[in-house]
Structure 1
Amino acid sequence: MAGRRKGRRDEEAAPLGSLSAPGQVHAPGTATCGVCGSDRLTRLHLALADGTDVTFVSCHQCEHRAWFPLDGDGTALERDEVVRRSSRS
């Protein structure tokens, strides 16, 4: 076969991850935007430097951003709190 390198094995490609993969667990309070109510959100599961698991939410409609602890009650963390928890001092 033209274009194949000698000695390479055919390896099945690993499936790529997705930002919108179904079945991901997100924090309470992240179903809709807290500002405009839109459900068009990007949600990312992140671990802050202090070990806090959060869902970062960015609204496609109004561009509001927030961080919600996975074990929280649906209240977003203040930006200063996220910065404090993210520092590696």
Structure 2
Amino acid sequence: MELARHAARHRRWARAERLYRLVLRLCPGQPKLWVQLGHMLKEQGAMAAALGAYRMAERLAPGEGDAVRHMAAVLERLLLKV
């Protein structure tokens, strides 16, 4: 987990994404980890995948503020591209 945070702090998005995915294999029920994965995906421009990660976080913790806020931002970006 610390390696994923370190990679994210240093803007190594792809590495952080891989590390968060590994952690999520062990702890798939942690909404905050799904939010972090969503951030890594969003930073790489994978908006649809980021939306999926935020939606998973929201499913695990309905009303989760971070997930809902970031989901809205991603949806806005996706709609502006249309």
- TM-score of the superposed pair, with normalisation by structure 1: 0.26
- TM-score of the superposed pair, with normalisation by structure 2: 0.27
Larger Rg: 1
Q: Is the helix fraction higher in 1 or 2?
A: 2
